[in-house]
Amino acid sequence: MPNIKSAKKRVITSEKKNAINTSKRSRVRNAIKKFNAAIDAKDIELAQQLLPKTMSVIDCAMKDGILKANTAARKKATICRALDAIKA
């Protein structure tokens, strides 16, 4: 544990930020898992309802700096491709 007051504050703030980032990253993973579960169950209607919500969660994570722009684009393209494949 640091002795200097500002260093102590940095430890506390970095722990808080780490918890927030972990929560946001988990939210993205859970949204993608729900979408993939709908795809695996061949439930097209549920997948179409979850698509905009999942896209939104990914976009918010990118905006907050949790995901890089190319990573977010890749994840969005992957879920769109999965939905298109099940429709065809």
Separation CA 88–CA 72 (nearest Å): 25
Which pLDDT value is given to residue 1?
80
Domains of the chain: 5-87 (1.20.58.110)
E strand or H helix at 24:
helix 5-40
Do residues 27 and 67 touch, judged by C-beta distance below 8 A? Answer: no
pLDDT band at 71 (very low <50, low <70, confident <90, very high): very high
Is pLDDT at 37 greater than 90 in this prediction? Answer: yes
Q: What is the pLDDT of residue 17?
A: 97
State yes or no: pLDDT of 43 exceeds 90.
yes
pTM comes to 0.89
